[in-house]
Each structure stands twice: as structure tokens, then as C-alpha cells.
Amino acid sequence: MYCRQIQSADDVLSHLRFQCAPPAPPPQVEQMRQLFELRFKRYLTGVGHPPYFHDQGLVSTQEENSIAHTAPFFRLQLLLVAALESSSLPVNDNWSIRVFRINAKFLDLLIKCPQGEAASEFDNWVHAQLYRADSTYNRI
């Protein structure tokens, strides 16, 4: 029987496709894409809301923060909702989420190396894009 709930991070990560947009010089484009992919996947496999969101009062309640922290695939579910308008996996196995517009604007966020499990500025930026996102991001 087919399960549409996320069972492992790879259920989603294996369906991500990363593309670059100009105007980065050609040698840097692939390096930026690789670094963006690495940081994006690191964020997605993290737990709950980044501390910044709770510290700044961007999470409605302590209960909401606690639920997000205990949900094993909370951030992956946020991505699915933003891209597919559902937290469930698609029925068809032949699906993908394209992540694009990776360009020089992200360079400052990308080159700052995260420290251990601590949330980075990049994590905060991605979370801001996905948390309570409307459906304007979805292009499948």
C-alpha cells in the first residue's frame, strides 16, 4: 500500500531539482548551486522553527513552537505545502520540486558557514519563505 506521508527526509530531498539563474559568472554558478543545495537541504533536515522565529515572536504560541519541534519532518512539510499545497507526498512517484533563482543575491547568506546545529541566517531566510507561505511559489 502506498503511503503519502513523509517517512524519511529522502522522500522529499530526492525530488528536489536545483537550477541557477544568471547573472553570476559561469565558473561561480555551479559552485553557488552546490552550496545553495547543501545549505537548503541542511535547513530542511533541521528541527522545528529556527530559534530566531521564536525569539522575535514570529511563532504564534509556545504550543505551536512545541508541535513544530516534535514533528519529525516539519520543515519538509512546509516545503511541500508551499510548493504543492499539501503536506502529503504526491501519488505519482514521478514528481519534482524545482528550486531556482539561485544567484549572486544569496552569496552573502551562502558563504557564512553555519556553526554545528545552530540556525544560520540562511536558515532564517528560507524559513521566512516557507513558513505561512501562500501558494504563489508553486510551479510544478
Place of cell 507561505: 133
Supply the pLDDT for residue 123: 87
Identify the CA nearest to 114 among candidates 103, 125, 122, 105. 122
Supply the pLDDT for residue 140: 40
Q: Where are the domains of the chain?
A: 10-137
* DSSP state string for 10-23: HHHHTTEEEEE-TT
d(CA 14, CA 11): 6
Average pLDDT over residues 36-64: 82
Supply the pLDDT for residue 139: 46
d(CA 68, CA 78): 10
Residue 3 reports pLDDT greater than 50 = yes
DSSP code, position 102: E
